[in-house]
Structure 1
């Protein structure tokens, strides 16, 4: 099964933006862990991040029923 994670505005700043509130791990580090866990369960994990809503909508519509 393919699993798509979409992340919107400001999530690309995780690890840098107020670490005392949001934590010190970057989005890349978090998703690396998620990808490893998903692979262990037989899933393909795909993720995208953008600060632009149009990108998110385009990715969602392009994902299809996969």
Structure 2
């Protein structure tokens, strides 16, 4: 099985959803997905978790 986001085969199991489908996490792009599920990307404004935290801190300083 490959990651639907980056096509890497470096994935691990990381739990299951309430409907019983298993969740997986890609070790390359750090995104989670279910087998056979749709590939959902991050919002374009946040390309990485680092960018998301950086934007949050910037908004927090402004207040």
The interval holding the TM-score normalised by the smaller chain is 0.3 to 0.5
The structure carrying a bigger strand percent of its residues is: 2
The answer to which structure, 1 or 2, has the higher relative contact order (CA under 8 A, 6+ apart) is 1
The structure carrying a bigger helix percent of its residues is: 1
TM-score (ref. length: structure 1): 0.31
Q: Pick the structure with greater CA Rg.
A: 2
TM-score (ref. length: structure 2): 0.33
